[in-house]
Chain A
Amino acid sequence: MSSNRHVVIIGNGIAGITCARQLRKLDDSVRITVISGESKYFFSRTALMYVFMGHMKFEHTQPYENWFWEKNKIELKEAWVKSIDFTAKNLFFQSGENMVYDELVIATGSKPNKFGWPGEDLRGVQGLYSKQDLELMEENTATGVTRAVIVGGGLIGIEMAEMLAYKKIPVTFLVRESGFWDNVLPKEESELVSRHMREHHIDLRLNEELQEIISDPNARVKAVRTKSGEEIECQFVGLTAGVTPSIDFLRNTELELNRGVKVDFGFQTNIPNVYSIGDCAEFHEAPAADRKAVEQVWYTGRMHGETMGYILAGKKVTYKPGIWFNSAKFLDIEYQTYGTVPAKWDTEKVKSFYWEHTSGKISFRMLMDLQGKILGVNNFGFRLRHEFFDQAIREAWDAAKVISKLDKANFDPEFFAPYYIEIQKAFKSQFGGDVKVSKKTFIQKLFGASV
């Protein structure tokens, strides 16, 4: 490959930036440009909520100091791309400028879903995805908001609820389904999160949908009406019913699109030298049975970027994700998951072990196949080691072996209560088998918090 070629990446999120960094590590001479209209420097989108709540300043969300990009010869272009001439390999910016590329990576991420609700474009109604959304939310909640309504029960919704709680704005949370995030979480976990939300005084309405958003005379939201006919007075509405690839500027071009930019496992689109990674890419088929064709998670974005970097450096690799993992934080409760734990499973083929602490805030679930081999785990309110479960699931350990070694998997800070012992006991009493229950260490007896 010629090394003076120009690789242009549209989008400086985790996917685009990881791609640029990996490529630079492998190829010292290729010219790399990263384009973003959102923010000149890469920042961590997941941290926007902390800026709102004053835990951090915006610059703290930037993982690299500003000199980093020049030092690594990664050119940054602050602009919005308006259109692309794929034949001439030319990008046109809204500012009227243009830029020629040899290879193009589209990593434009997502935008909040809007489902055509009446009033969804009123002032005071918004999603939360970009830096501009954050600024808008600061403006929208600055004064005069006595109640907010959040529509759609997912991770961004609960983050938004936490942000509004910081401003002491009461929140009504409309969730269409019968449990919070219940397309991802099994019933018990979904209930655990719901309880915790209510503990934080969030008015959680399950099985409730948005009918319309009602305007005041100034085109600003003054209330919402739900499907059940209730009118809830509010001055702010958060739309957090998922996200969708942000590829409007690519519609009606020769680039093949569906929900996202269609790609193969080499991230190759239907046009040579044009690739797509991250939230906005859509594989022709899902990369694994427990994965989706559009992967919209931080970690998958990073993996797409890593792999793309290698591909652009001329390495013969294709995207092969390993064992699934994910994490989130619901107000005060941390959540991690490793392997395959869907919201529902076929009880003929899958066995489930579930343990919940009496506080109702700490839980552990492990799914096993009929032979008792581990398929995946969910843990809430305590921490488990990624490396341990990556290995256990990859090597299909016996559940009893996993449970016996749970002390090794524990990732809670020192002196924390050894919940794994309770889990081991519960598993032993439910499933029997050759399970070793750990003993409390001397230090745990002396100082450890009681379970």
Chain B
Amino acid sequence: MKLIQSIGILLFLVGLAVFTAMPFLGNYTLTEELVLSNTKDIHQEKMAEILAPMYGETYSSNFSFISTFKDNFNSYNDVLKDEAKWDEVIWDDYSLPLAQSSLSSPVRDNPWLFFGLSIGLAVLGGLMYNLPKYQGEPEGIKNNGIFHSAMKNRGWMGMITGAYLILFYIILYWFPAYIVNQIWMVTPLSMILSGNPASQWFLYGTIYTLAITVMGVRMFRKYRGNKYQQLRTASVMFFQTAFAFLIPEILVLLNQPYFDFKNIWPLDYDFFYDYQIDTFLSSGGVGMFMLIWGILLIVIGVPTFTYFFGKRWYCSWVCGCGGLAETLGDPYRQLSDKSVKAWKYERVIIHSVLVLAVVMTALTIVNYFSGFALLGDVTNQLHSFYGFAIGSVFAGVVGTGFYPFMGNRVWCRFGCPLAAYLGLVQRFKSRFRITTNGGQCISCGNCSTHCEMGIDVRWYAQRGQEIVRSSCVGCGVCSSVCPRGVLKLENGSEGNRINEMPIIIGNDSIKINA
């Protein structure tokens, strides 16, 4: 078994190395035809002229190609900016489509081969490593050695992993022109699913879904014998694969709008953006259904399900961000900060994001109906600020890139406006709580240590109190790791949800008159 696991690690690393080396393959040759076919009508003439010096030149790396492109492009734009001719400035960034179309590389020629050598090997290696885990050992959760691990305790491996993830997100969001090889690599897959070429988002979605799958298998092994964890993991794997990845692509294949039926505003912050609304309204019955479905989820789905089951129905069973956190992020869950100070920051930050999302959306809707007369510019500014600061930096770079530094729920805990909304319902109007089993707590701290949301579960458990916290995503790991059977996630009557236990059950010395 050890051998298979070692080979698995090796294959994973080879796959990762191939993936990482890919941007350095191939060369780039731009022609006028490519410029004309990859730019908007209004820019075609200008762009063809600006980029003329590059035609026919072969650039041996993406660095030289992109920097030459920028030199040419900027020298045109900068002059206009200096002269304040804002109307004539070209604001569109054509570096991605032009780099992609100019590329000739072995990856573009053999996409499936490179898919197999990179992502394929990584997935295979990951499975070979995960599947044999704990074989021959009795059932039971082993967190052995996590704080002695260089990967899981902010050691050098964790630092490298975090840095790699952060770099990946930065390139993905702001410099996709450097990863056109990878986009070509997944293009045939995209053609099969949606009939359209791949974008960097399709690349991201593919990797994301496979990460959840491979690390979901790890969860099955780690929490074997624990039905709650098994079902929950299967659920996030299903919702990611079907709802987030396959169905939207198939919708596109069927000439319908791209839509993730489980993504809910305000996490899905552009749901009410004008171009979204226009898409829904111009797509007939299906578009109308999507619009109504999305609104029903916000208005009825969230409060109703959260009332009956707590926010876990979404955060740790359905959500894509939650899905990644609960699978890929599980090895880092113990790194969340449990201090009261962190809790204070959490409440201020996450509710600020919620307020920002609500204000932005309200403005967007007002603008939509007033024909963008009133605050059109402000709304656009707000959209680009939110998209950059919250949508990309917070949710992506920090949200996932910081797994190895601050735990796997940084975004969910500090940033997600939907989690804030679900949390308000959970805190004030819900049947969900974590029940403490009388006086059985021994204050060992396993629950708090392994809480990904940084809830000091022990604080409540050792007092015999039920745990009612807006941030709890109901992952159930506190209950799973408790050595004395003290914690149970329950939906029950609202009456006894918040209890004080001045004297813990089992001591009759002191009578407290209720």
Q: Which residues on A are within 8 Å of B, measured CB to CB?
A: 14, 25, 44, 46-47, 50, 53-57, 60-63, 65, 166, 196, 199-200, 298-299, 302-303, 306-307, 310, 315, 317-325, 327-329, 331-332, 334, 336, 383-387, 390, 411-417, 447-449
Contacts and interface: CB of A to CB of B under 8 A. Distances in A.
5 contacts: A63-B445, A387-B505, A413-B227, A413-B228, A447-B231
The 5 nearest A-B residue pairs measured at CB: A386-B438, A332-B140, A383-B485, A47-B444, A54-B145
A20 B448 CA distance: 23
Contacts, number: 162
A47 B138 CA distance: 22
Contacts of A323: 506
Given A307-B509, A320-B509, A323-B506, 4 more contacts: A54-B148, A63-B459, A303-B504, A415-B228
Contact of B506 (A44, A200, A299, A329): A299
A413 B446 contact: no
A306 B138 contact: no
A321 B439 contact: no
A324 B508 CA distance: 11
B231 A411 contact: no
Contact of A306 (B149, B443, B509): B509
B510 interface: yes
Nearest to A26: B502
Interface string B455-477: 00011001000000000000010
B327 interface: no
Interface string B131-162: 00000001110011111110000000000000
Interface string B96-136: 00000000000000000000000000000000000000000
Given A63-B459, A306-B509, A417-B227, A56 B148 contact: no
Contacts of B75: none
A54 B146 contact: yes
Contacts of A306: 503-504, 507, 509-510
B340 interface: yes
B147 A57 contact: yes
Name the residue in A46, A56, A329 with the highest tally of chain B Cβ atoms < 10 Å from its Cβ. A56
B445 A325 contact: no
B390 to A, nearest CB: 30
A44 B509 contact: no
A411 B492 CA distance: 13
B507 A303 contact: yes
Interface in B340-361: 340
Contact of B509 (A298, A303, A448): A303
Q: Is the interface of B mostly helix, strand, loop or mixed?
A: loop
A327 B144 CA distance: 22
Contacts of B508: 320-322
Nearest to B229: A413
Nearest to B137: A200
Nearest to A67: B340
B138 A299 contact: no
Given A60-B445, A414-B489, A383 B437 contact: yes
Nearest to B145: A54
A334 B484 contact: yes
Given A54-B146, A332-B139, A336-B485, A47 B446 contact: yes
B256 to A, nearest CB: 32
A60 B440 contact: no
Nearest to A61: B445
Interface residues of B, number: 50
Contacts of A61: 444-445
Given A166-B145, A390-B438, A327 B458 contact: no
B497 interface: no
A387 B466 CA distance: 13
A303 B457 CA distance: 21
Contacts of B139: 332
Nearest to A56: B449
Name the residue in B138, B334, B458, B507 with the highest tally of chain A Cβ atoms < 10 Å from its Cβ. B507
Contacts of A44: 442-445
A204 to B, nearest CB: 15
Given A55-B146, A322-B506, A299 B439 contact: yes
Nearest to A66: B339
Nearest to A449: B227
Nearest to B445: A60
B340 A65 contact: yes
A166 B149 CA distance: 14
Contacts of A336: 440, 484-485
A298 B449 CA distance: 20
Contacts of A53: 143-145
B306 interface: no
B53 interface: no
A200 B138 CA distance: 8
Contact of B138 (A54, A331, A334): A331
B445 A47 contact: yes
A376 to B, nearest CB: 13
A44 B505 CA distance: 20
B505 to A, nearest CB: 6
Contacts of B479: 413
A325 B485 contact: no
Contacts of B435: 411
A200 B139 CA distance: 11
Contacts of A327: 440, 442, 484-485
A54 B484 contact: no
A356 B446 CA distance: 29
Contacts of A298: 442
Contact of A307 (B145, B444, B507): B507
B480 interface: yes
A322 B228 contact: no
Name the residue in A25, A63, A447 with the highest tally of chain B Cβ atoms < 10 Å from its Cβ. A63
B231 A386 contact: no
A324 B444 CA distance: 21
Interface in B487-508: 488-490, 502-508
B458 A63 contact: yes
Contacts of B462: 63
Given A386-B440, A415-B228, A55 B138 contact: no
B483 interface: yes
Contacts of A386: 437-440, 505-506
B304 to A, nearest CB: 18
